[in-house]
Structure formats: C-alpha cells, structure tokens
Structure 1
Amino acid sequence: MAVLVTRPSPDDAKTAGALRARGFEVLCAPMLRFEAVAFQDDAETNYGAVIVTSANALRAAAPQLGNSRLLKLPLFAVGEHTAAAAREVGFSEVIVSTGDAGALRELVLGAAKSKRLKKTSPLLYLAGADLARDLAGELGEKGLTVVTRTTYRMVPAPNLPREICDAFVADRIEAVLHYSRRSARAFVEAARAAGVEISALALPQCCISGAVAAVLRDIGASRVTEAASPDENALFEALERALQRRIRNNL
C-alpha cells in the first residue's frame, strides 16, 4: 500500500524520500507544473525589503538575482523551506515566519512598528500568478506599499498518470497528501476525468492546512485530515493519525 504525493516537482522527490525514511511506500503524481515567468527588477524603485511566500518564486527569479542589489535587502519568508531557498539564491538577511502568509503579514507589520522597516520604502513581493490571499492588499491596509512581481505560475495537470489510475483500481493506494488548494482541485478534476474519483476520494485525504482540507470536504470527501500547523512534519503526523484510524475501523 502506497501514499500518493500530489506535490509539484522538484519538491515531491524530497517528500517521497522523507516518507520512505518513515517506512512508507510512495507514489508521485504532481498535480501542478512549475513555469517560470520573466522577472526584471525595477532599478528606479528603492525597496525596503523583499517578501516571499513560496520557494518557487525564488527558484524562478534566481537567474535574474545573480548580482542583484535585491540580495542586500532583508527578506521575509514563510517557513524554513522558503527561507532555505532564499539563502541558496544569495539573500543573507532572512527573517522567517512560522505558519502561513498570515503569520508573515504579522511579522512584517511588527518590523514596521519597531521601525526595522521604513513605511516610506515599498516592499517587493515575489509571487506566483495565482495567490491564495491578497497579502499585498492586507499590508496596504496597514499603510505599507507593496509592489507585487509575478515570477512563476503553476499549471494544473490535466490527467493522472496511467500507473496511478491503475493503482487506485487495484486498491494499492492508502492515502493522498495535498499541499495546496489548487493542487487539490486539480487532483479531483483529474481523478474525475479518469473515472477513479469514487475510489480516490474514499481514501484518507491528508491536507497541509484547513484551507486545503475545505476543498476536499466541499466536493464530498468524508475522510479528510488536516495538519495541526502548515508544515510537512505536521502533515506527516496527520497522515499517521489518519492511517491509524483506518486500521482501527477495519478491525
């Protein structure tokens, strides 16, 4: 029995390795495909800091950040995964929030309140084409100016791989991991198109946040478990809880 990872590449490989280290069999079906979008720094704008909510934003912008003046600015990142990507690109002052974009907003507002950031200096938000929340607008309501630059997009996969469909039919998958609302929606649509929706949604759906879990619940999945906090270790704990319940229910 395998756990299905729907996370986009290349992060799915890291997740698969972590799960195998915990003794799980793993199958991967990335439901979103990463595409970089051309990004160019506006040299006339004197930014006070950079904010990032996804490591993908940094991966996409990396070719343009080689010797950029932006690397000298403080960077506010959501989570250690994104922070590590920032350091790899070359940012030396990385401030990390634990939690989601809401926690990052509070961290940035706290820095502005303590005058670590000047409210008169705009912030550069490196972001994806599809945003789960209007972080720039939320900061703007508090008096900060945020310039959003799109550096990547995630394109939904139209189909599930044939081997994944066969695994659902053969009852070889015991749970599905979901990392974003968009990938969860793409998974449901692909499973529906392949005719395996009933089999797929009958399994435990383990989600990295309540917002992701809501997508699965809204379409009728009844065995949805959400992580206690929006990080992968908490998601793995949610997976283990879900599978323990499944074992008990089958006794």
Structure 2
Amino acid sequence: MRRVLVTRAREDALRTAEELRRRGFAPLIAPVLEIVATGAPIPAENFDAILATSARAIRYAGEGLAALRGPFFVVGAKTAQALAARGARVEASAPDVAALTELLLSRFAAPSHFLYLAGRDRKDELESFLRSRGHAATIVETYEARAADALGEEAAAALAAEEVDAALHYSARSASIFFALADAAGAPETLRARVAHHALSEDVARVLRAAGCAHVRVAAAPDQASLLAALEAQ
C-alpha cells in the first residue's frame, strides 16, 4: 500500500486522509500550517456588499459577523454553507475569484464600498480588481495560517526510513515550509529524488521544482479531485 504524505492544515488533512484510505492509500498526515483566528474586529458600518473567498474567513470571524446585513457575495459552496450555518443569507456564490469579479462588475457599476473577509496570506486578485474599478475595500483578516515549528514525529520517521511514496502539496507557501521543515528534520535526499510530489497548481509545482524534486506532477485542475486523480494515475 502506497504511503502518501498530506501536508495540509490538520482539519483539512484529516478529510483528505479519509478519502485516501477509501481509495486504497495509506495516508500520513504532516500539517505544515496551523489555522488560527486573528481576533480582528469587524467594523460596525454599512457596506454595499460583503465579500469572502473562503469558508475559513467566515468560520473564524468573530461575533461581529452577526451584525452584518449583507448582501454577501462569496466564492464556493463551502463558503456559502459556512454563512448559512451562522444565519446569514448569501446573495450570490461564484465558483472562483474570476467569476466573482465578473459578477461584481455586473452588479456594481458605480464605485462602492465593500467589506472583504479574508485570510492573512492571500492572493491579490480580488483586491486588484476592486482598486481598478475605483471601489473602496475594508479588509478584515479573520484568520491566519501559521507555519508549523516542526514536522510531526511520525512523518519525520517515515521520511528518514524512506517509507514515503508520494506527497500532496496544496499551496506554494506550504510547499516551501514543508521542505524547510523536512530539511531541518534531516530528511534524506530520496525525498527529492524518489518521492512523487503532486501539486495542486503550476504555482505550487514551481516551488517543488526549485526545491530539486525530480518527480513533480500537476493536477489537471486546481481542486482536490484532480489532485487525487493524478495520484491514482501515477
């Protein structure tokens, strides 16, 4: 049975591990990030709309979320579900940020004021769009992904014994942190020479190649289903 290293934050890694077992793999959880709430307050103001691109931004928002009246424009079904769980109604949900910007373009022709609930480490795509259209954005970072201090003992031991066959990588940042922690733990060169490293996107793959990985595979689409499909095709 192939052993697969899962480098996601623990909550997500546990769900991925369950799916890997169902597909006949032996998962090895090695979280390199810890998701924590920032405690940042949500302003008691009126906004033309509230934006969120991840369910975590909602789950880690404080009590101030209850006072927001919307409308909410979000990315992803999970984000919409997280809002529904907190009693809020979603005006519209888009499949990705690009689709969200198209939606906002059609709904808000005049400069508007948005509240953007976000993570501390994020891409600038949505904010760049808002600036380019003359909108104002109040950004509240409700959570952050902190780098782990070390690899877990089980993962470090498996790497040392050369018992890892593949690794799943979900972001460029987490891939960089993983190799820093693996090197600090004294992982052998086989981690780069023999292990198959599966990347969620080309951005992640670039980090893996720069780290010297010989076997890098990129998911056909930036989602877990495609990532696991690539793993099964290995």
- Structure 1 length as normaliser, TM-score? 0.84
**Corresponding residue for 1:226?**
218
Q: Does 1:24 align with 2:25?
A: yes
Say if 1:133 and 1:215 are closer, same or farther in 2 by CA, change over 3 A: farther
1:150 is displaced (CA, Å) by: 0.9
Partner AA of 1:172 in structure 2 = E
Aligned counterparts of 2:24 and 2:86: Cα–Cα separation in 1: 33
Aligned counterparts of 2:114 and 2:221: Cα–Cα separation in 1: 27
Q: Describe the superposition over 1:207-231 as per-residue Cα deviations: whole angstroms up to 9, x where unpaired.
A: 1111111111112112111111111
Partner AA of 1:88 in structure 2 = A
- Residue among 90, 95, 109 paired with 2:92: 95
Partner AA of 1:39 in structure 2 = A
1:94 is displaced (CA, Å) by: 5.3
Gaps of 5+ in 2: none
Aligned counterparts of 1:142 and 1:194: Cα–Cα separation in 2: 47
Pairing 1:88-127 to 2, within 5 Å after superposition: 88-93=85-90, 95-98=92-95, 103-104=96-97, 106-114=98-106, 116-117=107-108, 119-127=110-118
1:178 is displaced (CA, Å) by: 0.8
**Corresponding residue for 1:40?**
41
**Corresponding residue for 2:149?**
158
Task: Tell whether the 8 Å contact from 1:129 to 1:150 is kept in structure 2 after alignment.
Answer: yes
**Corresponding residue for 2:199?**
207
Partner AA of 2:68 in structure 1 = R
Q: Describe the superposition over 1:226-249 as per-residue Cα deviations: whole angstroms up to 9, x where unpaired.
A: 1111111011112122x2xxxxxx
1:121 is displaced (CA, Å) by: 2.5
- Residue among 80, 85, 99 paired with 1:83: 80
Say if 1:95 and 1:222 are closer, same or farther in 2 by CA, change over 3 A: farther
Q: Does 1:129 align with 2:129?
A: no
Say if 1:179 and 1:89 are closer, same or farther in 2 by CA, change over 3 A: farther
**In the comparison of the two structures, how many residue pairs are matched?**
232
Aligned counterparts of 2:13 and 2:64: Cα–Cα separation in 1: 25
Say if 1:84 and 1:231 are closer, same or farther in 2 by CA, change over 3 A: farther
1:173 is displaced (CA, Å) by: 1.5
Say if 1:108 and 1:80 are closer, same or farther in 2 by CA, change over 3 A: closer
Taking only aligned residues, the RMSD between alpha carbons, in angstroms, comes to: 2.0
- Structure 2 length as normaliser, TM-score? 0.89
Q: Does 1:192 align with 2:183?
A: yes
Gaps of 5+ in 1: 244-251
**Corresponding residue for 1:69?**
68
Aligned counterparts of 1:172 and 1:63: Cα–Cα separation in 2: 45
Aligned counterparts of 1:83 and 1:21: Cα–Cα separation in 2: 27
Aligned counterparts of 1:22 and 1:147: Cα–Cα separation in 2: 43
Partner AA of 2:74 in structure 1 = F
